[in-house]
Amino acid sequence: MAVPEYDVKGGSIVREWSGQVQPALVASFVFLFCLEACLWVRNLRQKRRLPGPFAWPVVGNAMQLGQTPHTTFARLAKKYGSVYQIRLGRSDIVVLNGDKAIRQALIEHSTEFAGRPNFISFQSVGGGKSMTFTTYSKQWKMHRKIAQSTIRAFSSANSQTKAAFEQQIVAEAAELVEIFLKLSAGGQYFNPGHELTVAAANAICALCFGKRYGHNDAEFRALLEKVDQFGQTVGAGSLVDVMPWLQSFPNPVRSVFENFKTVNREFFSFIQSKVKEHRETFDPEVTRDMSDAIIGIIDRGDDREGLTPDHTEGTVSDLIGAGLDTVSAALSWMTLLLVKYPEIQTRLHTLMDQVVGPERLPSMQDRDNLAYLDAFIYETMRFTSFVPVTIPHCTTSDVTVDGLRIPKETVVFINQWSVNHDPLKWKDPHLFDPSRFLDENGSLDKDVTSRVMIFSLGKRRCIGDQVAKVEIFLFLSVLIHQCSLEKRPGEDLSLNSLYSLTLRPLDYKVTARLRGRQLKVKQSAV
């Protein structure tokens, strides 16, 4: 359940450029080319603040970025350095690449990089009260503090709610196994993506609302559709963020943005209805779930730095959206990699049999003895970098990174993919090799795991990363314990991805076979 960095990101703007900007430009070029060309000539005469590629009038560098901008950013860094400037529309963007520059920015200068740009699309998220998409301020710091303390209360080692939450995840994982086996009846192959998304959504809904939904529940399916549409639009914002004049006349970009706003309103309305139910039955003596906990602090607490009850819905909206998207993306990649590399799956089966055995399901207490499973998880996060580029940052003051000055209020893209594939930090980064995370004794090497960047760093680091890791570990361990997953014989599954809010694998199909006696767990709510 990765919260604030949602962290993902930056991709929808490129998809819109690739699929929709050309018709929009045809319609607008006659009206705007002369103006843009004049500005372009003026900018050529001015000294560039930072190195970077040549930018064309009107479109800037957008057409260069392609379908995988994170790899384009890394390639440009080889020519222009780890800190360089591109142009999207009429907006100058600084792109940070590589472990050294990004850690310098997000850790050594965490406050200076804690802002968010004032994108129009960001204002539409969470009723304008989203912690993820609002900029750095005293109010934002209070908002984040409340969200952090709430998550900590549900994930601390001595928390009863933590134990209940873990039990809920194991139950969801056991149901997921049952569904996989049903879909595999008669040797059938199926795409696991939808079922993995439902399972991840049930886990975060149980945490936030104290309720799970059936896999075919109509209300739930509608919610998942809205989140999916959101993920296809947000990221580095919409084209209207960098070319606001596109709102002025009919064109495909404006249509996409209008749909984006509609999806946000509908999703936020769903969240409001659930929080309203909680307010009507709220008991300060009994905290049923995270919605209750947030209501108790924001709605009824003191010293809130101007936070209003609307910020409660904004916080819950952040948790649901982020927790669903990142966990389901991670599980989709891990399932694919298990069937693509059967020798790794066999090693994990053997380990699970040795540590857990056939009479019970795995739990968090087994984690220390399942180092290779954790190594597989970390290598999946590194290799796929399924949150390749963070939600855009914005500098809160002038700052210098890698010897280059970045002015205040500059939009900044953080290329996490470049950190996870930095050849200065990783041997053969293009190879999938979980053993790189194990030391000579076969234990998980914490120094190496700390190099992986998937939940960002600094003041915008995902506050739910530990909860997300618990979810991923339990879902995956139960699936491996119970099932043997296989691809079609002779099929070579692609490792290419779809660029959205998070990177997702292309459609693929698997079949599941029960490894032994199926163990079931009674469903429970948090």
Known binding residues for heme: 462
Q: Which residue has the tokens 């100058």?
A: 92
Residues 6+ positions from 202 with CB-CB distance below 8 Å: 172, 212, 213
Q: Which two structure tokens, joined as six digits, stand for 180?
A: 């996989």
Question: d(Cα 482, Cα 473) in Å, to the nearest integer?
Answer: 14
Q: Rounded to whole angstroms, how far apart are CA atoms 311 and 130? A: 7
Helix (H) or strand (E) holding 511: strand 511-514
> What are the CA-CA distances from residue 291 to residues 205, 288, 463, 496 (Å)?
10, 8, 16, 38
C-alpha triplet 326, 328, 329: angle, nearest 5°: 65
- CA separation (Å) from 68 to 15, 84, 160, 261? 9, 18, 43, 25
Q: How far is CA 134 from the centre of its chain?
A: 17
Residues flagged as binding site: 462
Q: How is residue 143 written in tokens?
A: 């908002």
**What CA–CA distance (Å, rounded) separates 29 from 22?**
10
Reported as half-sphere exposure (CB side, CA atoms, 13 A), residue 146 has a value of 33
Candidates 79, 16, 74, 33; CA nearest to 53 is 79
3-class SS of residue 411: strand
Backbone angles phi, psi at 301, to 5 degrees: -85, 175
Checking 73-80 for CB contacts under 8 A at 24+ apart, the result is: 73/97, 73/389, 73/413, 73/415, 73/417, 73/418, 74/415, 74/417, 74/418, 74/421, 76/52, 77/415, 77/418, 79/53, 80/51, 80/52, 80/53
Q: Is 430 helix (H, G, I), strand (E, B) or coil?
A: coil
